[in-house]
Amino acid sequence: MSVANQPLAGVRVLEFGTLIAGPFCARVLAEFGAEVIKVESPAGGDPLRKWRKLHEGTSLWWYLQSRNKRSLTLNLKHPDAVAIARELATQADIVIENFRPGVMEKLGLGWETLSALNPGLVMVRLSGFGQTGPKRDQPGFGAIGESMGGLRFITGYPDRPPVKTGISIGDSIAALWAALGAMMALRHREVNGGAGQVVDVALYEAVFAMMESLVPEYDLFGFIRERTGNVMPGITPSNTHTTRDDRHVIIGGNGDAIFKRLMHAVGRDDLAEDPDLASNAGRDARAVEIYGVIDAWVARHNLDQVLAILQDADVPATHTYSVADMLEDPQFQARGMIEQMRLADGRAVRMPGIVPRLTETPGGTRWPGPALGEHTDEILASLGRDAEEIARLRGCGAL
C-alpha cells in the first residue's frame, strides 16, 4: 500500500517505547502513514517480541503491534548511540517514550536536550503517574493505572474481589490519548505557528478520564459507584442473559421505545404499556422485576431464536463473541476488519484491520513487525554513515 495518500505521510516518529503503551501509540501513527523508527536495545529488543504466543520464536503480538515500523538497534549506554539518537530526533516530528520519568534525561535524551536541538519537536511521554507529582518516580504498569484510575473498583460482581478486563486496557487507553495529544500538538505547531511541546500522559489519568460521572456523583451525593456485574447501573434494562443452550446474550433495551418493543417481543404487553416503565427512572426502580422477566424468557429459547426474535423487534442484542465468531462474522468481513499479512517466512496470518476508517485517506498495513535491527544499516546510511563507519559502530557495541 502506498503511503502517499495516507493522512500522516511525511510525519516522522522516533519511538523509544517498550511493551504496550508507547508502542501502541506509535502503531496507530504508523498505520496512517507516519514513518516510525523504533529504537531497540541490541540485547533482545522490545520484550514484547517474546510475549504470549510465538511463531518461529517471535510473538504474534509483536507482528501486529509493530507493523509498518522500522527497527533500529542502539545501545543507549554508548555515547555514539546516543549521538545517533539525538541526530534522529533533530529530524523527527514526534518522539515517543514510555520509560519511568527521568530515564530519558539520564540517557542524555530528555526534553530540554532534544527541544534545544529541535524546537518544533513534539515529545510524547507515557508513564504510570506522569512527569510531575509525588508519585512520578514510582513504577506503574497498566494494572496500576486501571486500579488507581477507578476502573478495577467498579469491574466485577459486588460479592467478589475486583477483576481485570481480558486485555491491557489501561495501556491501550493511554496510548490512544497519547496519539490524540500528539495530533493536537502537531496541529498547534503547524496551523497556529506554535513551538513543539510535551504530551504528558499518565496511565492512571488516562483511565480516570473515562470514568463518566463518577466524580460529580460522589461530590454532590456522596455516591460511590460499586461493582454491579453485567448490569449497567442506573440504566435499565442492559444486561447479559443465558440462553437455553447455555450461550450468553447481551440485550440493550434501555431506550424508551426500545423497551416497549422488547417487552412486546418477550410476550409482556402489560409491561410494554405500563406508564410507570415509560422512562428510565421508572424502569430502574423496578430493575429486579424487569431482569427477572427477561432472564426467564431468554432461558426458554436457544441463542439463534433469541437473536432472530430480537432482530425482528429491532432490539439491540448480540451474543458474546469469541475470536472464532469474529473471524466468521460477515460484518467484520464487509468492513475489512480482518486482513491478512505475510510473515518473514511467508506464512499468511490474519490480523485486525485498521481503525478508524477514513474514506479518503485510509490507513493500512504495509509490512508486519520487523526483525530486530532489520533497518539499522539502512537508517544509518540515510544519516550519511558509510559501511566502514557502521562496522565500527557495531564493533564498539553502539549498535
Which positions are annotated as active-site residues?
171
CA distance 219 to 242: 37
Helical axes 21-31 vs 169-191, angle rounded to 10°: 50
3-state secondary structure string, 29-63? HHHCCCEEEEEECCCCCCHHHHCCCEECCEEHHHH
Q: How far apart are CA 123 and CA 104, in angstroms?
A: 11
Q: Which residues contact 20 (CB under 8 A, 6 or more apart)?
A: 48, 65, 142, 168, 171, 172, 175
E strand or H helix that includes residue 2: none
Cis peptide before 356 (omega within 30 of 0): yes
363 touches 354 (CB < 8 A): yes
Q: With the CA atoms of 38, 42, 47 and 50 taken in that order, what torsion angle do they form, in degrees rounded to the nearest 10? A: 110
Q: Enter the DSSP assignment of 213.
A: T
Task: Name 199's Cβ contacts closer than 8 Å, sequence gap at least 6.
Answer: 122, 123, 124, 125, 178, 181, 182, 184, 185
Counted residue by residue, the chain has a size of 399
Task: Check residue 368 and give left, alpha or beta (phi > 0: left; psi -120 to 50: alpha).
Answer: beta
